[in-house]
Amino acid sequence: MAGGVACGVRGSGTPDLGLLFSGRPCAAAAVFTRNEFKGAPLGVTREAVAGGGLRAVVVNSGNANAATGRRGVEDAYAMQGAAAQALGVEAGRVAVASTGVIGEHLPMDNILAGIGDAAGRLSGDGAPFAEAILTTDTRTKEAAVRVEVGGRSVTVGGTVKGSGMIHPNMGTMLAFLTTDAAVEPECLQETLSRATEHSFNRVTVDGDTSPSDMALLLANGAAGNEPLTAGSPDYPAFVGAVEAVARELSKEIARDGEGATRLVEVAVEGAEDEETAAALAKSVVGSSLVKSAVFGEDANWGRVLTAMGYAGVPFDPDGLELWFGPVKVFEGAPVPHEVAEANAALASGEVRISARLDAGDASATAWGCDLSYEYVRINGSYRT
Amino acid sequence: MAGGVACGVRGSGTPDLGLLFSGRPCAAAAVFTRNEFKGAPLGVTREAVAGGGLRAVVVNSGNANAATGRRGVEDAYAMQGAAAQALGVEAGRVAVASTGVIGEHLPMDNILAGIGDAAGRLSGDGAPFAEAILTTDTRTKEAAVRVEVGGRSVTVGGTVKGSGMIHPNMGTMLAFLTTDAAVEPECLQETLSRATEHSFNRVTVDGDTSPSDMALLLANGAAGNEPLTAGSPDYPAFVGAVEAVARELSKEIARDGEGATRLVEVAVEGAEDEETAAALAKSVVGSSLVKSAVFGEDANWGRVLTAMGYAGVPFDPDGLELWFGPVKVFEGAPVPHEVAEANAALASGEVRISARLDAGDASATAWGCDLSYEYVRINGSYRT
């Protein structure tokens, strides 16, 4: 069950407090930001996940409760305690997350009132929760997949927030995935870590990694299947479902990147290994110059090669082929092409840039967005 | 001697071809981009520097001669040969550099005519050369320092170009430093490498590293001093002079970053070692969110902490102090301050953000600029 209310952190009636609740204890898996500087809620949630058997998640937007010192940690525990009391569960079974401005103390009166309010409005509708966790996002981001596991139909659903301060190779933004499948906890963590590597960690909006990043995967077993382990015949199907949900949500984050006018998908094939392919794809999708060129619909492919060149992994430019949409622009040397056609490949809402190396069979895809005036405007006046 | 002319690569009479010439052979040192993908001139110049005794440098702007395949390499050698012939020196004694659009072949007729033209206009005035190497730069960048070395007065001068596709931890943009000091070649390379680490490699405009980056230091010994070695009593003074010129030019690059309205200087003190301090400073100065906040005069210091947190080096946020200009904003926890005062610290042409750790005595400074609408405009339409 889920709920979301406005408690006044973001002001003017904007939803800013969300609750997730499971009637049965959930196996829980989590990944956290790799930023050295971590928001206060992350330590509280890490402790709760390690304790096992989560029952609820409480989240606020508008204030990240990060860089708030000891008082911030006390506030995070107070959120946990209040949610636990409102839901009638043990405090240690509640995960806590906060997202928003860094360096300000939470308005705890609002937060505590909001928790009580949200607990009274829980329902099977995830939309109010999906809305309550947003900050600069322009829309909610939800995805769900259904698969057969051990003869039972199992659902994996999720919602994320994230629009700025988004960069791969880290934990991730805030992501909440739930499933009614029964899954052994270790296997669940392995599933989430792997899915994160293939999805959230392949998104970038601006190269900035939030101190609040966190992804949670809760599995309450309500579907009644035999608990999944890594050896279960249906485990690959479950992994596929989690990855599909995570990938879809990742693309939604990129599409809704701060100021974005386009989703950019960069696919690298023919690499020696997946790490190399991913490093190259992420470098291209993160380049300010590539992002500006996409915004300007200028198929300046030299910038793509340049970004691959500083990805920190070796590759042979002579064996490289490069496409903007369907238009081949490079094959060891410039390929004559109609510039207008290549530019047109950047003009749609979904832009695909693809590269093929001749070093092996591995591939990877990364997602990002263009860099627009609007990104600068949003971030030049975020606090005002 | 130096010269610069317009030969039609950039069009409409814009200077785009420069020559440097020394009447005596120069000891030469060079550093090159660490981008895997390198412009054609870099191989030619690397060969010339390795050969020893450089006499000249030929540079064009408007076209980087990068991603141009075998023909690009032939064109770079043709530039070298034409300059050598025009100046009456051996081809192997000429360094070549190109900067501008990637992926187009050089208009060799223009280039060759321009080389002849420039060779006929050499003079002691460096300004035409400084102008001929610019691309999106809005102004020339020159610096010079005079020091006593072995009883002789020695001058170190330099000019650079660079405004976009600028990111530290790499070779650098195009930089040409000259001195009349006599310096042993190995010692000269050590001097340039070290100065680069402390200057050009600490500048970022957009996180993009050009495939054309190159810095050259030529020493022709005209001052008549005993050739300097690492053990010479005056070697530290010479190093200081080269570093001062390189640092000044680095700040000029940052100040003239594409779309920049402000120079941003980030100083980190109290670190365990210089590498840690430099990594933290560079991470802050490279953050799109910090850069946008400076543009918007929004002293959003949480973003500075965040950028330090993902710098990839460990540090203790609890022991951190942070200032925007003279205003302390953080000391393990938020420090109450007038937001208007902190914002005002971002409103001048030179913004200083400083951090003090409690881990040691090492410090480092990095330079960058703000991120403005103009950066997006310039790079959304660079080729059009």
- Residue of A379, A381, A383, A384 best to disrupt the B interface, most CBs of B under 10 A: A379
Positive or negative torsion for Cα B250, B251, B252, B257: positive
> Is B34's Cβ below 8 Å from some Cβ in A?
yes
Residue A166: per-residue pLDDT = 60
Read off the pTM. Answer: 0.77
Mean pLDDT computed over A145-165: 84
Which CATH number fits the domain that encloses residue A325?
Answer: 3.10.20.340
Mean pLDDT of B355-371: 93
Which residues of chain B neighbour A280 with C-beta distances below 8 Å? none
Residue A273 has pLDDT above 70, yes or no: yes
Average pLDDT over residues A340-366: 93
Name the residue facing B35 among A286, A296, A310 (closest C-beta): A310
Same domain, B79 and B15: yes
Residues 105-124 of A with CB under 8 A from B: 105
Statement to judge: residues B42 and B6 lie in one domain: yes
Count Cβ atoms below 10 Å from residue B339 Cβ, excluding itself. 14
**Chain A residue whose CA is closest to B332:** A69
Answer whether residue A171 shows pLDDT above 80. Answer: no
Instruction: Supply the mean pLDDT for chain B.
Output: 88
The per-residue pLDDT for B110 is 97
Task: Please check whether residue B109 is in contact with residue B78, taking contact to mean a CB–CB distance below 8 angstroms.
Answer: no
Tell whether the model's pLDDT for residue A132 goes beyond 50: yes
Mean pLDDT of A54-66: 93
Taking residues A43-53, what's their average pLDDT? 91
- Closest-CA residue in chain B for A72? B333
Q: Does B191 qualify as catalytic in the annotation?
A: no
CATH of the domain at A231: 3.60.70.12
B294 and B347 part of one domain: yes
Query: Is B296 part of the contact surface with chain A (CB cutoff 8 Å)?
Result: yes
CB–CB contact A308 B210 (8 Å):
no
Tokens linked to A19: 């609750």
- B330 lies within 8 A of chain A by CB: yes
pLDDT bucket at B126, cuts 50 / 70 / 90: very high
Q: Is the pLDDT of residue B169 over 60?
A: no
Q: Does B380 lie at the interface with A, CB-CB under 8 angstroms?
A: yes
What pLDDT, on the 0 to 100 scale, is given for residue B327?
Answer: 94
Residue B278 shares a structural domain with residue B323? yes
B122 and B88 Cβ atoms separated by less than 8 Å = no
Residue-wise pLDDT tens digits, B71-82: 999 999 999 999
B101 touches chain A (CB under 8 A): yes
If asked whether residues B89 and B226 sit together in one domain, one would say: yes
What is the pLDDT, as a whole number, of residue B382? 59
pLDDT digits (tens, 9 = 90+) for B283-329: 999 888 899 899 999 988 988 998 898 888 988 888 999 999 999 99
Residue A384 clears pLDDT 70, i.e. is over it: no
Q: In the structure, what pLDDT confidence band is assigned to residue B171 with cuts at 50, 70 and 90?
A: very low
* A316 and A369 both lie in a single domain: yes
Residue-level pLDDT at B21: 95
Which of A314, A380, A381 is nearest residue B36 as measured by Cβ atoms?
A314
Least-confidence region, from A124-133, A314-323, B126-135, B254-263? B254-263
pLDDT over 70 at B368, yes or no: yes
Of A221, A237, A254, which marks where a domain is finished? Answer: A254
Given a cut of 60, whether residue B161 has pLDDT beyond it is yes
Say if CB B339 and CB B253 are below 8 A apart.
no
Give the distance from residue A114's alpha carbon to the nearest chain B alpha carbon, in angstroms. Answer: 25
Report yes or no: A144 at the B interface, CB cutoff 8 Å: no
Cα separation of B158 and A237, whole Å?
A: 62
Considering A129-143, B3-17, B154-168, B299-313, the range whose residues carry the highest mean pLDDT is B3-17
Quote ipTM for the complex.
Answer: 0.71
Boundary of a domain, candidates A254, A286, A306: A254
The answer, yes or no, to whether residue B170 has pLDDT greater than 60, is: no
- The rounded distance, in Å, linking the Cα atoms of A57 and A89 is 12
Q: Find the closest chain A residue to B302 by CA distance.
A: A102
Residue range A67-76: average pLDDT? 93
Residue A214's pLDDT band, with cuts at 50, 70 and 90, is confident
Same domain, A244 and A281: no
> Closest chain A residue to B36 measured between Cα atoms?
A309
Which pLDDT value is given to residue B167? 60
Residue B179's domain comprises 2-255
CA distance A251 to chain B (A): 21
Q: Counting beta carbons within 10 angstroms of the beta carbon of residue A314, is it exposed (0 to 12), middle (13 to 18) or buried (19 or more)?
A: exposed
Q: Which of B255, B290, B323 is the last residue of a domain?
A: B255
Structure tokens at B233: 């009593």
Is the pLDDT higher at A121 or at A213? A121
Q: How many domains does chain B have?
A: 2
